[in-house]
Structure 1
Amino acid sequence: MSTETQAMLQLAAEAFHLKNYELAADIYEDQLREPVEPRGRLELMVRRADALAFGGKLTEAFGVYQKASEIERLQPVHLGNLLTFLIENMKRNGVGTKKKTDPGMESVATEGCPDAATGCGHEAWSCRTCLAFLSEPVTLPCGHSLCKKCLERETGGQPVCCKECSDTSQLKDVPGYRVNVVLGNILCKWFPTQCRAAELRRQGNSLYVDKKTEEALGKYNQAIFIAPKDYLLFSNRSQIHASLRRYDMALSDAETACTLMPHWSKGHQRKAQALVSLGRSDDALKEYLLCLTLQPDCKLAKTEAQKLLGDFLAPVTDQVPDRVLDYSALLCSRTTVKSCLAPWDPHTPATSVAPRMHSRPSPPSGSPRTPVQSSQLSSEIDLPPSPPQASSRLPCKSLKGSDVLAEEGAGDDRPNGTCCRHLLKRKRWSTEEEVVEDKRSTNEEGATGSDVCKKLKSEPMIGACNSVVGDLIDPTDLECSLCMRLYYEPVTTPCGHTFCLKCLERCLDHNPQCPLCKQELSQFLAERSYCKTSLMESLISTYLPADLTERSKVYHEEMAEFSNLNQNVPIFVCTMAFPTVPCPLHIFEPCYRLMIRRCMETGTRCFGMCLGDEAKGFADYGCLLEIRNVEVFADGRSVVDCIGRRRFKVNQHRQQDGYNTADIEYLEDVKVEGKAEKDLQTLHDAVYDHALVWVNSLKPDQKERIVAHFGPMPEKDSDPQASPNGPSWCWWLLAVLPLDGRAQLPFVALTSLQDRLHGIRRVLLFMARNTRHR
């Protein structure tokens, strides 16, 4: 290849990258006029076709692709840009993007379903990974719940990522996370039908794994009979029908799953697989494109779409013009594409739910399929292969073992839209045993998604999760086992037990074990990720609003009591503290852990510090400390950085929850004026100079330790009466002077700055005499 040719190709690539598709197409066309070996010519034709497609010249682009395929069958690597264009075109048409729900449609969707209107309906009771009804709910550290099976599937040696909040939990012991006891019991009590359907689904999956396909189908029929709005049941039953070579039924169930959950990529994948098996490759390609629009990283859909595109562009001269027109119509039609993802409208005939978009007539059942074979079900789910058939090999490779039935739905196939509320109403199917009892019922074995859809128009809308029956709602089911009150800020431990946040924290202050089962919670305590269980909060606010209001009122009254800095002020009995002087503390006793936590939660960040007293418990005078920072260790201990703020006198000694409290009044220095003020200023300056001499006389290592602990000596105040506590250097000096706490206490009680300065001078004189005698 000449240097000039390389430069032109580089220029064409840059033009394509800069979206100058017309220039890129022209350059590639010019290069094609030159003699090129077949493989190089194929590459040039594909690049020119890519540029034409992105430039909007679709018919011409498809013609070039077809001519290129005459040289050599196009491989997936050749069709990557075309597939990207088709997906982007769908996105420009509004497919796969969140849209505001139509108000009228929302009212229809929530009609007859109070739960949906209150936010505690089907979405609330759904697993955030598979979006099916919660089965054996496990609560993550972030507070969101998912099925136990989904948690086990998510953990492949990697951190678990919550699909609701994207929180990545560094779970070191995933098997140690057990089913949420309270939620599990409530689900079984409030929603027995949905729980029964989930159990039937698990039984059906187990039978399918054991290659008992017909029996598995029976379990799924029973599950759909009692839970006719579960899209996952229809999706899995579609797979079972496909394994039994009942492709029409498989397609019908897949369409119903797509109707129930329009923005679920796996539903469109199932539908595409059934369409391929029926020989309807054009429609299958459209479904794969919809799947990729909803989930761009779906490798299976991408591979299958590329195979179908390669087959579609194969050199069949008499069919190429028709095919080009078919796909041009698909790409240009916004209404047609969006109709596949539109929420169900009760006033729309069921036959129009999944329109055939410009589809060609399906080939006869006995006609051979197109050359494209679908590997269909990828390795998204680890289940054994489907049962072998007695007859010849299935015409579709759709039943590779790695993607047979989703136990709870594939974790990566979450819908991108908010379509859960738009739920399809279906009449329940009947079992053969119930035909005698109700002749109007249909046989559940013969019912299909289409049969159900035909009954939609005449029936009222009912929510996916029926509202909870009033007499089933018992407040005692939602009581904390520690305080025996309604859960407030419920938190769930890894062992599956739920407590009020404050109750659990107080228990962990004493012992890092679950209060009920005694499981070790050291890691849970170390992470301190006490996130509230969102589903528990949601159901309490929905079904017990009056009880929650009363419980909240009690909680806020308690917090208001703790916030009072005059009455019931928490007292730390330890040492002397002084205004403006730092006071670091090591907190390890359970009662003081609780006290510090309350100070932080109420926002006051303050508590009193007093010396101990054998008679009264603590001294009558102290200093109010303000918390500047708290560093918590893994075992619950903490280092608290405090600084003194105000002096106080204790009027009433009390106790609460294991620590001391007091009713207090704050002390301020009495100001003087006139000649007394001048005398005070003179005394202040003299004592400061004397103090500075003493500090400078200390050994260097002593001074370093003092500065490291208390900071440097404050500067002399220009106005000694500016602060109600007096000059800050006085308190700093009292803190560093070698005095006993009992000797320091009277200085805190004094309200006369002059008396305090006289006392400090006497101490300094005493220290100076001792130094001289040495």
Structure 2
Amino acid sequence: MGAEGSGREEMLELATEAFRARDFQLAADIYECQLRAIRAGQEDERDELRLKRAHCLALGGRLAESLEEYKLLSQQGILRPQHLEVLVERLAEAMRSSQGWTDGEQPARRLLSCLKCTGTLYEPVTLQCGHTYCRNCLEREREGTRAPSTHCKLCKDKLHASGTYRINVVLNSFLNKYFPAETRALTLRHEGNVLYKNKKPQAALEKYREANALAPKDHLLLSNRAQINASLRHFEDALHDGNAACNLQPTWSKGHLRKAQAFAGLQKMDQALKEYIICIALDSESKTAKLEAQKEKIDTTDIGVRKEWKTHTCGNLTNAVQMMSDNKDALKNSSTPLALTSPEQKNTQKRKCDLINDDKAEIIEGNSKCFRRARTQSPSRDHDTQSDLVDPLDLECSLCMRLLYEPITTPCGHTFCLKCIERCMDHSPKCPLCKEVLPEYQTLRKYSRTSLIEELIAHYLPEELAERKRVNDDEMAELSNLNKAVPIFICTMAYPNVPCPLHIFEPCYRLMIRRCMEFGNKQFGMCMSDPIKGFADYGCMLEVRSVELFSDGRSVVDTIGRRRFKVLHQSERDGYSTADIEYLEDEKMEGESYTELLRLHDAVYDQAYKWFSSLKQGLKTRILSHFGPMPRKDTDIQASPDGPGWCWWLLAVLPLENRAQLPFLAMTSLQDRLNGIRRVLLFMSRNCPR
């Protein structure tokens, strides 16, 4: 006996290790061998081994065999609801696989539906991430969680728990104007919810009946009415509403939950269990469906008295598996050689399958057609209206008075074009309409477009949207032109290849820099001011390398000089200056002239290097930190249209007045520029202390 007991413990330990290694087949086989060795008087140990084997068979996909084990346990009166958790999950996975669903599959979304409740939007609130929900849905989720913040269901962006949710004015007006019946039905639905919460189900039912008459295709109305009917024990009416909700949204788990609860109320346990399994297959996080499926026909408080319920439970599970498994690859391997022991057992299994075959075929075929139809609706627009009835003025920006383009909804509920609200934030951190302070918009400069308004415009106003996009593209092309109407920053001298950091605080230049960044070229012109003309006739293009924004809207822009230009015509756009320009290029030298130019270049470079080296260390350090080291001599001094880079670096560090610097920028002769630099260096070496 000692050796036998020791051997059994070793085998059970081996089965445990196999289970941990997810080798469920080996674990089940070991438990089967140990079951055969159980002697009379060891019923408790036998039941424990049978339960473990049932779990292993279920996890290994051998559902038919696992059901036989669960059935035996149920008949012996030891099966509890929690014991069926593994089986229920595997049944749901099998159905999910056979139907081609994904866990958490979303129902076909209607154009104006809430992303949380899936019903038509009621008092729509647009979050900073750009997604829109019912206000009640957001408030209910906030009240139901202790966490400091929840998350957007679609993008997982954090939703702060503080503050008031403001209704999106544009969307709310659109719903009230073009969908008055649906809006009235939503109001009645929420009135009914309040009555139901106050334990007045009959009055709530009347509200829902009135709402359903106005919006007969609202699946959420039908689902909620099914719940009310079930609470009043009107299970036939609840089943009717649950069926209607599932027909409208076949992949909506809540609709199947309502059907299951109605079937359970009618004592139709097979159908109830099947609907619970469908619900779990669509949403594995449905705790209600899991608990109900596990305790179906098992009373945990009176398990010894109602044994006929235990037997029927496994019958329900068996039917559910058979209805899913016939002709389905997902359960193709559920039968094993152990199940094929005798002709009598084969005939018995065949008769069982024949009894449910017709019912199974009808259910599977109906479900498959229904779900395929749902997947082809992209998206459903049951409460659509004719596009030609929508007035473009209802989707117009109140700032530019044009169709909303890249719409942004502020926390106060007002919607503007992206570029319009950005320009407003350049001047003030307040909403242009209600004057509510929006400090986070000016600080973060992070805008997310309101996706639902974009979808509405694309659906109802496609021609107007195409025209609006064409006008916007034309404007962008005009603004990105680096020859015509080039933006001009009027400030100081800038030179090719020389850094030029800028502090931006004026609203007009905030707009100018933002446009330069958006268009991709990241360039604008820099000119000195002129008391008569406005700005000088010559300047240098600057390219933005980085922008650092501050909380008050100011920014530090790191730029570097590129090409020189001559101003042909001055103009203005949106508060900042622009100009038509032509780019300057040094004249090319050849032959003896080039040889002479090269000698001059080398002599002036040596002279400049000697002057810079003679400066005091403190001054040199400041120059190096601001402008960088002096560039080396170019291999080809005429390779760049602006000449050698060291010339411009030197002009930037030389202590010259602006009126003395500007002629160098206008020169197109490298020889003249070198001679001018030589004269300045000579003057500096004679008269200026170092």
What TM-score results when the alignment is normalised by the length of structure 1? 0.77
Q: How does 1:81-92 map to 2 (within 5 A)?
A: 81-92=86-97
Deviations 1:361-385 (A, max 9, x none): xxxxxxxxxxxxxxxxxxxxxxxxx
How many Å separate the matches in 2 of 1:274 and 1:305?
13
How many Å separate the matches in 1 of 2:38 and 2:103?
48
Q: How does 1:633-712 map to 2 (within 5 A)?
A: 633-712=550-629
Q: Residue 544 of structure 2: SS of its match in structure 1?
A: strand
Query: Does the CA-based 8 Å contact 1:95-1:293 persist in structure 2?
Result: no
Letter in 2 for 1:61: S
Which one is further off, 326-335 or 754-763?
326-335
Aligned residue for 1:333? 326
Q: Residue 609 of structure 2: SS of its match in structure 1?
A: helix
What TM-score results when the alignment is normalised by the length of structure 2? 0.85
- Residues 58 and 139 (structure 1), Cα distance of their counterparts in 2 relative to 1, 3 Å cut: closer
Deviations 1:449-501 (A, max 9, x none): xxxxxxxxxxxxx962142374x422222222112222222211111111121
1:766 is the counterpart of 2:687: no
Aligned residue for 1:264? 252
Q: How does 1:264-413 map to 2 (within 5 A)?
A: 264-308=252-296, 316=308, 325-333=318-326
- Residues 216 and 332 (structure 1), Cα distance of their counterparts in 2 relative to 1, 3 Å cut: same
Which one is further off, 529-538 or 252-261?
529-538
Give the CA deviation at 1:181: 0.8
Q: How does 1:470-485 map to 2 (within 5 A)?
A: 470=388, 472-485=389-402
Aligned residue for 1:254? 242
1:21 is the counterpart of 2:9: no
1:465 is the counterpart of 2:383: yes
How many Å separate the matches in 1 of 2:88 and 2:230?
27
Give the CA deviation at 1:549: 2.9
Aligned residue for 2:157? 168
Query: Which residue, out of 392, 396, 419, partners 2:374?
Result: 419
The structure carrying a bigger helix percent of its residues is 2
Query: Does the CA-based 8 Å contact 1:283-1:357 persist in structure 2?
Result: no
Query: Does the CA-based 8 Å contact 2:527-2:538 persist in structure 1?
Result: yes
Give the CA deviation at 1:508: 1.0
Q: Residue 646 of structure 1: SS of its match in structure 2?
A: strand
Query: Does the CA-based 8 Å contact 1:79-1:309 persist in structure 2?
Result: no
Deviations 1:71-98 (A, max 9, x none): 6633344333222221221122125349
- Residues 577 and 73 (structure 1), Cα distance of their counterparts in 2 relative to 1, 3 Å cut: same
Give the CA deviation at 1:725: 0.5
How many Å separate the matches in 1 of 2:458 and 2:68?
61
Query: Which residue, out of 100, 107, 114, partners 1:127?
Result: 114
How many Å separate the matches in 1 of 2:24 and 2:489?
75
- Residues 620 and 171 (structure 1), Cα distance of their counterparts in 2 relative to 1, 3 Å cut: farther
Q: Residue 541 of structure 2: SS of its match in structure 1?
A: strand
Letter in 1 for 2:664: F
- Residues 336 and 258 (structure 1), Cα distance of their counterparts in 2 relative to 1, 3 Å cut: farther
- Residues 422 and 245 (structure 1), Cα distance of their counterparts in 2 relative to 1, 3 Å cut: farther
Query: Does the CA-based 8 Å contact 2:323-2:360 persist in structure 1?
Result: yes
Query: Which residue, out of 217, 220, 240, partners 2:208?
Result: 220
Letter in 2 for 1:87: A
Aligned residue for 1:8? 11
How many Å separate the matches in 2 of 1:540 and 1:635?
34
Aligned residue for 2:127? 140
- Residues 337 and 419 (structure 1), Cα distance of their counterparts in 2 relative to 1, 3 Å cut: farther
Aligned Cα root-mean-square deviation (Å):
3.3
Give the CA deviation at 1:709: 1.9
Give the CA deviation at 1:7: 4.8
1:543 is the counterpart of 2:532: no
Which one is further off, 750-759 or 91-100?
91-100
Larger relative contact order (CA 8 Å, sep ≥ 6): 1
Query: Which residue, out of 500, 515, 520, partners 1:583?
Result: 500
Letter in 1 for 2:611: W
Letter in 1 for 2:674: L
Aligned residue for 1:51? 56
Letter in 2 for 1:538: E
Give the CA deviation at 1:158: 4.6
How many Å separate the matches in 1 of 2:626 and 2:163?
44
Aligned residue for 1:241? 229
1:714 is the counterpart of 2:627: no
Query: Does the CA-based 8 Å contact 2:273-2:316 persist in structure 1?
Result: no
Which one is further off, 302-311 or 479-488?
302-311
Aligned residue for 2:488? 571
Query: Does the CA-based 8 Å contact 1:263-1:417 persist in structure 2?
Result: no
Aligned residue for 1:456? none
How many Å separate the matches in 2 of 1:12 and 1:270?
41
- Residues 281 and 486 (structure 1), Cα distance of their counterparts in 2 relative to 1, 3 Å cut: same
Give the CA deviation at 1:227: 0.8
Give the CA deviation at 1:748: 0.8
Letter in 1 for 2:186: A
1:500 is the counterpart of 2:417: yes
- Residues 648 and 7 (structure 1), Cα distance of their counterparts in 2 relative to 1, 3 Å cut: farther
Query: Does the CA-based 8 Å contact 2:104-2:283 persist in structure 1?
Result: no
Q: What is the number of equivalent residue pairs in this alignment? A: 641
Structure 2: which 5+ runs fail to align?
Answer: 332-357, 363-369
- Residues 321 and 639 (structure 1), Cα distance of their counterparts in 2 relative to 1, 3 Å cut: closer
Give the CA deviation at 1:211: 2.2
Give the CA deviation at 1:505: 1.1
- Residues 754 and 319 (structure 1), Cα distance of their counterparts in 2 relative to 1, 3 Å cut: closer
Give the CA deviation at 1:624: 0.4
Q: Residue 536 of structure 2: SS of its match in structure 1?
A: strand
Q: Residue 761 of structure 1: SS of its match in structure 2?
A: helix
Q: Residue 501 of structure 2: SS of its match in structure 1?
A: strand
Aligned residue for 1:435? none
Letter in 1 for 2:385: S
Query: Which residue, out of 455, 472, 476, partners 1:555?
Result: 472
How many Å separate the matches in 1 of 2:317 and 2:405?
63
- Residues 508 and 533 (structure 1), Cα distance of their counterparts in 2 relative to 1, 3 Å cut: same
Query: Does the CA-based 8 Å contact 2:110-2:382 persist in structure 1?
Result: no
- Residues 681 and 6 (structure 1), Cα distance of their counterparts in 2 relative to 1, 3 Å cut: farther
Structure 1: which 5+ runs fail to align?
Answer: 101-115, 117-121, 339-354, 360-414, 424-461
Query: Does the CA-based 8 Å contact 2:89-2:280 persist in structure 1?
Result: no
Identity of counterpart residues, as a percentage?
54
- Residues 734 and 60 (structure 1), Cα distance of their counterparts in 2 relative to 1, 3 Å cut: same
How many Å separate the matches in 2 of 1:720 and 1:595?
34
Give the CA deviation at 1:727: 0.7
Aligned residue for 1:65? 70
Aligned residue for 1:208? 196
Aligned residue for 1:440? none
Aligned residue for 2:545? 628
How many Å separate the matches in 2 of 1:324 and 1:285?
7
